[in-house]
Structure 1
Amino acid sequence: MKTIFIFTFTVFSTLFSLGQTTEISNVTLQNYINVHGKKMELNGAGVRTKYFLPMYVSSLYLQDKSSNPNDVLYNVKHKVVQLDIISDFVTKERIEETVKEGFEYFRNSLEIDDEINMFLGVFKDEVVNGDKFQFVAEDTLCRIIKNNNELLVIDNINFQKALFSIWLGNKPINDDLKEEMLGK
């Protein structure tokens, strides 16, 4: 009887776990994550490449899936962009350069230079293959997490929108990646 119970439990556990993750470029993404008591669902993900080299897997988590970038940027109060570094080509200098490029569009219009400089400080330590960054938006807050350690919290909705616009805005870092993150 005990053997039947263990077998049944194993079968149901295996069936339940199927579909709980998504794999992209050898990175296993959870289909659901819990962020401060809120269940977030994987909306979409893709690989950021530069000079034909894969750099990182970028994924977007939302409470309710959406393919509308303006809705995600301006109406969704809780969202997560996760970057899983998948290349030795990514260094703190290269990621800092990429982030600066992404913010360039907003530097003068939103007056968020102080916040951008604080954010760039997150990359003072070396960035290596296997690192995971999460940018967590909660109302007006933006939490920056590296490898499950919260490094910085910025309370500025304009900074938050500019940060998420790097991937989802009108001038994203990569159009194909934007579409993949929006589940298109």
Structure 2
Amino acid sequence: MRKLLQAMILGHFLIVPAIFAADSDFVTVSDTKFATSTKVNGTDLVLNGAGLRTKFLVKVYTLGLYVPQKSNSAKSLLQVSTPEMIEIHMLRTISADTFADALNEGLAANNSKDVLAKLKPQIDQLEATMKGAGKTKENDVIRLSYIPGTGTQVFLNGAKLGDSIGGGADFYSALLKIWLGDNPIDKSLKDSIVGSSK
């Protein structure tokens, strides 16, 4: 029994580097690479953190959050006032309806009814944008970029999808709560992005 426990513990630590590794230019999460820095609308951004989204032990996607300045506080990261970006690398093929439903569930779980009602036009636009793109396939890259005065822009494999979504920082922050809110879609993913459970 002792040898079995030792093997399990050792195995755990051997698996971790395959899930998360870093060098000076990239962070690798489950075989997908995130640049440690990027630009959005001319603003320099750094990777705050990146992690793996799983559901029923199935790998769904990896996600990284780019911000002007790193923080290990989810509350601070939700106070959006400058360009930011969410980058998602798909690890499996998902229908447009499934992806849109997951976003809506995350929004509903982390925002009040009043906020959801106020942002309904923007939420509907995001849903239509994602459904219009069809299914998201394994290795697709989705980027959600926030630009003050412009709104939230959706990109699929580098191509912009639809019009920019208004609602200012309020909408982008509500969207960000899917992963960083009090009821995140994946607690371990939140911890990986934030670097703490705060």
Whether the TM-score (by the shorter chain) exceeds 0.5 is yes
Residues 107 and 113, structure 1, Cα contact 8 Å, conserved in 2: no
Aligned to 2:4: none
Q: Deviation per CA, 1:45-77, whole angstroms, max 9, x where unpaired?
A: 000001110000011111111111111111452
Q: Distance in 1 between matches of 2:155 and 2:113?
A: 26
Structure 2: which 5+ residue stretches go unaligned? 1-22
Deviation of 1:139 after TM superposition, in Å, equals 2.6
Alpha-carbon distance between aligned partners in 1 of 2:108 and 2:174, rounded to the nearest angstrom: 10
Percent identity of paired positions between Structure 1 and Structure 2: 22
Worse overlay, 68-77 or 54-63: 68-77
Question: CA 1:138 to 1:177, structure 2 compared with 1: closer, same or farther past 3 Å?
Answer: same
Segments of 4+ moved more than 3 angstroms: none
Q: Match of 1:126, SS? A: coil
Distance across 2 between alignment mates of 1:183 and 1:78: 21
> What residue in structure 2 maps to residue 116 of structure 1?
123
1:96 paired with 2:100, answer: yes
Residue 152 of structure 2 is aligned with which of 138, 142, 145? Answer: 142
2:160 is the counterpart of 1:154? no
CA–CA separation in structure 2 for the residues paired with 1:143 and 1:36:
11
Could you tell me whether the CA contact under 8 Å between 2:45 and 2:67 is conserved in 1? yes
> Counterpart of 2:78 in 1: which secondary structure?
helix
Shift of 1:138: 2.2
Alignment-derived partner of residue 9 in structure 1: none
Contact 2:50 2:63 in 1 (8 A): yes
Query: Is the 2:35–2:47 Cα contact (8 Å) retained in structure 1?
Result: yes
Task: Specify the alignment match of 2:142 in structure 1.
Answer: 133
Check 1:61–1:135 CA distance in 2 against 1; reply closer, same or farther (3 A cut). same
CA distance in 1, matches of 2:58, 2:80: 34
Shift of 1:181: 0.6
Larger Rg: 1
Where do residues 21-170 of structure 1 align in structure 2 (5 Å cutoff)? 21-88=26-93, 90-105=94-109, 106=111, 108-110=113-115, 111-124=118-131, 125-139=134-148, 141-151=151-161, 152-156=163-167, 157-170=169-182
Give the superposed CA RMSD. 1.6
Worse overlay, 146-155 or 164-173: 146-155
Following superposition, the deviation at residue 22 of structure 1 comes to 1.4
Q: Normalized against structure 2, the TM-score is what?
A: 0.78
Deviates more, 1:27-36 or 1:51-60: 27-36
Unaligned 5+ runs, structure 1: 1-17
Determine helix, strand or coil for the equivalent of 2:184: coil
Residue identity matched to 1:129: E
Q: Partner residue of 1:4?
A: none
**How far 1:104 sits from its partner (Å)?**
1.5
Q: State TM-score, norm by structure 1.
A: 0.83
Contact 1:45 1:183 in 2 (8 A): no
User: CA offsets, 1:136-157, max 9 Å, x none?
Assistant: 1223521111111121311213
Partners in 2 of 1:68 and 1:139 — Cα distance? Answer: 22
Report the residue type matching 2:139 in the other structure.
G
- Counting matched residue pairs gives 166
Question: 1:54/1:64 Cα in 2 relative to 1: closer, same or farther (>3 Å)?
Answer: same
Q: Secondary structure at the match of 1:74?
A: coil
For 2:28, what is the secondary structure of its paired residue?
strand
